C-alpha cells in the first residue's frame, strides 16, 4: 500500500474514478472504519465498484419477484413460441397434463393456467410401492378403489393382497375389466355388471362395431360403470362349545394397536389398517375368547379372531407373532400378538375388523 503518495501521472479515467472516490468516500466514511486517504484512488475505486456489484446482485436476487422473471421469459421469442395445432393435438392425445410432455409448449404454459381435466382413454400399469394401499392407489389415479379390485383378480377377494412390485391394471374409467370367456355375449356381460349393452359398445377402447360384434375368448373388455357384488371372505373358526371361563365382551372396544390409519373402511375393505412398527403390541379390543389363531391362506396371514359372546367378533390380521391359542379367554386390553406384515401386505400394519353377526362394521364407529 502506498502511503500519502497518489501517483502523479494518473490519466483521465483515473481522475474520473478519483472524483467518484471523493464523492463516494464522503458517504462511505460514516460506515467504513479505515483511513480512506491512505488508499490509492484507483484501488479504492475498484473496491467501491466491487461493493456496488455485490449490492446490485443482492438486490436483484432478493427483490426480483417471480412474476418479473416470468414476464421476461414471455418477452423472449425463443422461450414462448406460439403452440402449433400439431402440438396441441399431441397433448390432447396424450390425455394427461401437458407438464409431462416435452417440447416448447411446456415452457409457454403459465403455471396459473388451469389445465382442463381430460379423461384417460387407455389402460395404465402401476407397480405397487412399499406402503401402498388399494385406496391410496385409487386416489392417485382418480378412480374408485373398487375399480382396482375389479380389474385385478388377485385383489378381488381381498384388497390387502397387495405385494410390492405387483403390476396392477389401472382402467381409464370406473368399472370392471372383464376377461371374455367362451359363450360370453354382450347381453350376458351387460346383465352381470348391471350396465347397458351400448355402454360397452360405445366405449372406444373395446373396438366393438355393434351389439352383435363377435367376442374373442381370452381378450378383455372394459365395462364402464360396471359393478361386481361384494363377497365376504370366509375363515373357518372354532365351532365347538364356548369355553366355561370365556370372558364376555363389554360391548365397547378399545384400539387394538397404536399407530396411524393407513387405510380406512370402504366397500371393498371393510376394516381399518393401522400402520405401526413391526413387533409393536396388538391387544384384544374387547374381552372374549379366541376362535382362531394361526395362519390364514386367504390373505390375512397370521390371524387372531376373538368372539366376544355378544354377537361381535374382532379380527386381527398380518401379525408377526401370536401369543394366544384357540379357546383362550382374553380380557380387554390384553396383548394377543405383534404387528407384522405377514400374508400379502406392503408394510407392517394391523388389519382390524369388527363383525356383528358376521357383518363387517366400520371400526371407526366403535373406537373413540
Ligand atoms: Zn386391511
Query: pLDDT tens digits, the chain, 368 residues: what are they?
Result: 444 444 444 444 444 444 544 544 444 444 444 444 455 556 656 655 665 555 555 455 454 444 444 433 333 334 344 443 433 333 333 333 333 334 344 444 444 555 556 778 899 999 999 889 899 999 999 999 999 999 998 888 777 778 889 999 999 999 999 999 999 999 999 999 999 999 999 999 999 999 999 999 999 999 999 998 877 667 777 877 888 888 899 999 999 999 999 999 998 899 999 999 999 999 999 999 999 999 998 888 899 999 999 999 999 999 999 999 999 999 999 999 999 987 666 789 999 999 999 999 999 999 97
CATH of the domain at 217: 3.10.350.10
5 within a domain of the structure (yes/no): no
Residue 271 domain boundaries? 260-365
176 within a domain of the structure (yes/no): yes
The C-alpha cell that represents 111 in the structure block: 403455471
349-356 and 272-275 beta bridge pairing: antiparallel
Q: Distance, CA 169 to ligand 1 centroid (Å)? A: 20
Distance CA 247, CA 292 (A): 16
Percentages of the chain per state (helix, strand, coil), in multiples of 5 = 30, 20, 50
- Model pLDDT, residue 154: 84
Place of cell 356383528: 356
This prediction's pTM: 0.58
CA 84, 87, 91, 94 torsion: positive or negative? positive
Asked which of 49, 81, 108 is the last residue of a domain, the reply is 108
The C-alpha cell that represents 329 in the structure block: 379367554
75 and 165 belong to one structural domain: no
Q: Distance, CA 275 to ligand 1 centroid (Å)? A: 10
Number of domains the chain is built from = 4
Q: Distance, CA 282 to ligand 1 centroid (Å)? A: 15
Q: Distance, CA 25 to ligand 1 centroid (Å)? A: 75
| Long-range CB pairs of 142-147, under 8 A, 24+ apart, other chains included | 143/170, 143/171, 143/173, 143/174, 144/174, 145/266, 145/267, 145/268, 145/269, 146/174, 146/227, 146/228, 146/266, 146/267, 146/268, 147/171, 147/173, 147/174, 147/175, 147/176
Asked which of 198, 224, 250 is the last residue of a domain, the reply is 224
Q: Distance, CA 183 to ligand 1 centroid (Å)? A: 36
Selection from 52, 39, 55 nearest residue 6 by Cα: 39
84 within a domain of the structure (yes/no): yes
- Model pLDDT, residue 105: 42
141 and 200 belong to one structural domain: yes
Q: Distance, CA 146 to ligand 1 centroid (Å)? A: 14
157 and 210 belong to one structural domain: yes
> 190 in helix, strand or coil?
helix
Distance CA 362, CA 355 (A): 9
Q: Distance, CA 272 to ligand 1 centroid (Å)? A: 6
The C-alpha cell that represents 342 in the structure block: 405377514
Amino acid at each position: 500500500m502506498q502511503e500519502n503518495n497518489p501517483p502523479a501521472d494518473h490519466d483521465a479515467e483515473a481522475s474520473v474514478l478519483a472524483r467518484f472516490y471523493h464523492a463516494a468516500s464522503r458517504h462511505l466514511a460514516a460506515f467504513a472504519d479505515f483511513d480512506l486517504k491512505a488508499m490509492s484512488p484507483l484501488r479504492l475505486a475498484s473496491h467501491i465498484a466491487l461493493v456496488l456489484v455485490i449490492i446490485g446482485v443482492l438486490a436483484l436476487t432478493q427483490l426480483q419477484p417471480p412474476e418479473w422473471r416470468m414476464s421476461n421469459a414471455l418477452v423472449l421469442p425463443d422461450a414462448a413460441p406460439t403452440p402449433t395445432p400439431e402440438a396441441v393435438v399431441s397433448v390432447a392425445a396424450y390425455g394427461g397434463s401437458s407438464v409431462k410432455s416435452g417440447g416448447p409448449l411446456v415452457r409457454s404454459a403459465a403455471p396459473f393456467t388451469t389445465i382442463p381435466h381430460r379423461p384417460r382413454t387407455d389402460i395404465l400399469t402401476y407397480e405397487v410401492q412399499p406402503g401402498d394401499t388399494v385406496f391410496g392407489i385409487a386416489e392417485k389415479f382418480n378412480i374408485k378403489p373398487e375399480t382396482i379390485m375389479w380389474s385385478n383378480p388377485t385383489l378381488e377377494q381381498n384388497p390387502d393382497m397387495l405385494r410390492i412390485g405387483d403390476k396392477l391394471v389401472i382402467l381409464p374409467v370406473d368399472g370392471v375389466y372383464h376377461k371374455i370367456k367362451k359363450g360370453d355375449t354382450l347381453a350376458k356381460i351387460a346383465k352381470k355388471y348391471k350396465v347397458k349393452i351400448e355402454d360397452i359398445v360405445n366405449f372406444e377402447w373395446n373396438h366393438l362395431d355393434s351389439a352383435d360384434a363377435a367376442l374373442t375368448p381370452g381378450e378383455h373388455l372394459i365395462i364402464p360403470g360396471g359393478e361386481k357384488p361384494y363377497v365376504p371372505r370366509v375363515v373357518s373358526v372354532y365351532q365347538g362349545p364356548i369355553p366355561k371361563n370365556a370372558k364376555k365382551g363389554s360391548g365397547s372396544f378399545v384400539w387394538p394397536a397404536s399407530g396411524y390409519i393407513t387405510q380406512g373402511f370402504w366397500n371393498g375393505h371393510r376394516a381399518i389398517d393401522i400402520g405401526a412398527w413391526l413387533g409393536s403390541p396388538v391387544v384384544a379390543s374387547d374381552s372374549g375368547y379366541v376362535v382362531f389363531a394361526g395362519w390364514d391362506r386367504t390373505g390375512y396371514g397370521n390371524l387372531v379372531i376373538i368372539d366376544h359372546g355378544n354377537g361381535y367378533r374382532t379380527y386381527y390380521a398380518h401379525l408377526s407373532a401370536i401369543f394366544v391359542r384357540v379357546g383362550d379367554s382374553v380380557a380387554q386390553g390384553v396383548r394377543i400378538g405383534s404387528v407384522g406384515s405377514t400374508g400379502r401386505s406392503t408394510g407392517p400394519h394391523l388389519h382390524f375388523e369388527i363383525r356383528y353377526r358376521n357383518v363387517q362394521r366400520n371400526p371407526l364407529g366403535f373406537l373413540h
